[in-house]
Amino acid sequence: MTCNMEDIIESPVIAASIDREDKKVIEKKIKSRECFISSESSNGKSDVWTVFSHVLYANTDKRTGYVSCNKCKILLSNLPGTGTSHLKRHKCAVVTKGNSSMDEFVTKKIKIKIPEKVSRDAVDECVKFCALDLRSFSAIQGDGFKSLCQFLVNTGAKYGAVNVNDVLPNPTTVSRNCIKTATTLRNELMSKLILYIEQKRCSTTTDMWTDNYKKIGYTAVTIHYIDDNWVLNSNILCVRQFPIDQKKTGENVRRSLKDFFSAWPQYDGDDWLSNFVWVTDRGSNIIKALEPNIRLNCSAHIIHNVLQYTFKSIENNDSSQTEEEIDLEQISNLITATKSLVRYMKKSGENNLLSKSLLQSVETRWNSNLAMLQSLFDMYSEVIQLYGQDSRKMSEIDYNLLSKLIDFLAPFKNASTQLEGTSYPTINLVMLHKAKLLKHLLSYKHNRCDDNIQIMFSQLASRSLHAVQEKFKLDKYHEIALFLWPPYKKLKMVDSQIERDRIIENVKVQLHNIQEQMPNNPPENTSQTGNLNYSNEDIFSEWADIDEGSSTRTRYTCEDE
């Protein structure tokens, strides 16, 4: 069969292609109104025509050979007889319930029923993995492990039964690529965050610690931001070694932070640091390092300091104790005896005889003492069965005192847990939790009945109250954040009207400063308002505002997912 050139040119599809004007020409004619985008529905049967419209010549209403996407307005080729498959691959193509796009058909996950024998074999292989490599059983639930397995499964499906050694890299190769991968991901994150950072919509938390084994110091920087969908996010930007040859002075700490951000040339080091609100502990070096910038104390860390101060001298059995501290010796003995008991049961292995293990305290986390006391309270009857009520190990552990000490500490634990949340705002909770702790401690302080235990807790509350007032200082940003939280805008937890007026004046000043910094023509805000999780059970309900025309209060519950 033969054909000549004339036959090819006379083909309707080729002819249209030859006669059709260039896309840039058509785009110019749309602007000059020589062409227009049809508003009439196409006669085509494909669902893709709900997304695209034909581009027509204004003087003849004939088709130009192009269609326009109704969403992004881009022009795509559409010659007679060429079909719509290329249109379905366009990013804006909408798929109806009746018909799926080719992309969805190709990528659709088909649920395959795995034979029971394969499932049993998988269990055996997981057991071998945990035993041979000394991994925990929960390792098979890790996202990284699942991602690796999925990659290997997909590789096998594509290339057949390959030798796994031909696929898995050498550990040295993995090690060399670790920093490279981290740098790539960090740069991708920063490119996404740069707009938020420029608009001062980010805060950062930083912490420094020393490895006990090699005595090497490290610094971690985590960035927190609310995206355009009003979702609070947090990402660790870096964990880096502090220079071994430098002392951790304020000047050196600031230089270390500036050096980290110098990898991105948009700003110099000082400008980078000024773009964030920093939240840190009260270490003198980090306070000095961030002195030129906005820095807030970590409230959860302050609560740890308060409890540390409250119990420090009575636990040390100092010979210079005051009369008040001597009266608190029974509480000190209870904590010391509980630590000794848990340490002994861990070391002897007798902890395994309990239905639920006792928890050991960690010196750097005072809340772990409460967890330890609570675990003993829960297992008290089983411990008594093991050692007896009159045993030397239990002689200093009074069940009634243990219960009351847990009740005394519970609000501190609740406050620090909520203030450590990462999936909801916490700055608006600081002022409320301080007010709650003050009320809690004052109730103990003024409860001076003849009961010896109540007298002890009254003295303990006095010590803790002094620590809260001395260490738990509020910043104007804590006050402003609470005022801007609708359920508490009346600031009922503030005793003085003068103080309320001062807070409101700070709000006005801050709003004025924001208004001055805004551009003359700010971009239109098209984002959606985030959803808040409201509840009728709120520990701060006594201070919540009553809605006008209603006897109910609006409350907010914080849940960290």
Choose one of 168, 197, 223: the last residue of a domain. Answer: 168
Give the pLDDT confidence of 77-90 residue by residue, as tens digits.
888 767 787 888 88
Winning range, highest mean pLDDT, from 272-281, 305-314, 449-458: 272-281
Average pLDDT (148-152) is 94
Structural domain contains residue 321:
no
Distance CA 461, CA 307 (A): 11
Structural domain contains residue 232:
yes
Statement to judge: residues 233 and 181 lie in one domain:
yes
Structural domain contains residue 413:
yes
pLDDT at 98: 46
Statement to judge: residues 195 and 139 lie in one domain:
no
Give, in order, the Cα–Cα distances in Å from 429 to each of 223, 410, 418, 483, 487.
20, 17, 8, 11, 12
Structure tokens at 111: 């649920």
Overall domain count for the chain: 4
Statement to judge: residues 163 and 181 lie in one domain:
no
Statement to judge: residues 424 and 371 lie in one domain:
yes
Give the pLDDT confidence of 208-266 residue by residue, as tens digits.
988 888 888 999 999 999 988 888 999 998 888 998 888 999 999 999 999 888 878 77
Q: Which of 182, 202, 184, 185 is nearest to 194 (CA)?
A: 202
Would you say the C-alpha torsion 86, 87, 93, 96 has a positive or negative sign?
negative
Structure tokens at 147: 């991602």
pLDDT at 77: 86
Structural domain contains residue 317:
no
Statement to judge: residues 162 and 266 lie in one domain:
no
Distance CA 460, CA 325 (A): 9
Structural domain contains residue 489:
no
Distance CA 208, CA 246 (A): 14
Statement to judge: residues 335 and 467 lie in one domain:
yes
Distance CA 474, CA 506 (A): 13
Give 336's pLDDT tier (boundaries 50, 70, 90).
Answer: very high
Average pLDDT (179-194) is 89
Give the pLDDT confidence of 120-136 residue by residue, as tens digits.
999 999 999 999 999 99
Average pLDDT (276-286) is 93
Contact indicator for 221, 257 with CB cutoff of 8 Å: yes
Give 2's pLDDT tier (boundaries 50, 70, 90).
Answer: very low
Statement to judge: residues 394 and 464 lie in one domain:
yes
Choose one of 168, 193, 225: the last residue of a domain. Answer: 168
Instruction: Indicate whether 560 pLDDT > 70.
Output: no
pLDDT at 534: 41
Average pLDDT (102-113) is 58
pLDDT at 340: 94
Give 5's pLDDT tier (boundaries 50, 70, 90).
Answer: very low
**Predicted TM-score of the model (pTM):** 0.70
Q: Where are the alpha helices (DSSP H) in 201-298?
A: 250-261, 269-274, 284-289
What lies within 8 Å, CB to CB, of 200 at 6+ separation is: 275, 276
Q: What average pLDDT is seen over the chain?
A: 83
- Window from 307-316, 425-434, 462-471, 517-526 with minimum mean pLDDT: 517-526
> Residue 158 sits in which domain range?
122-168
pLDDT at 522: 56
pLDDT at 265: 73
Provide the CATH number for the domain around residue 153.
1.10.10.1070
Structural domain contains residue 142:
yes
Statement to judge: residues 164 and 60 lie in one domain:
no
Statement to judge: residues 231 and 341 lie in one domain:
no
Statement to judge: residues 263 and 397 lie in one domain:
no
- Window from 57-71, 219-233, 375-389, 459-473 with minimum mean pLDDT: 57-71
Provide the CATH number for the domain around residue 274.
3.30.420
Distance CA 92, CA 51 (A): 7
Choose one of 258, 282, 297: the last residue of a domain. Answer: 297
User: How many CA atoms are closer than 13 Å to the CA of 490, on its beta-carbon side?
Assistant: 12
> Token match 């390092």: residue?
289
Distance CA 350, CA 385 (A): 12
Structural domain contains residue 499:
no
Statement to judge: residues 359 and 469 lie in one domain:
yes
Statement to judge: residues 217 and 293 lie in one domain:
yes
Q: Where are the alpha helices (DSSP H) in 133-268?
A: 143-159, 171-198, 250-261
Structural domain contains residue 405:
yes
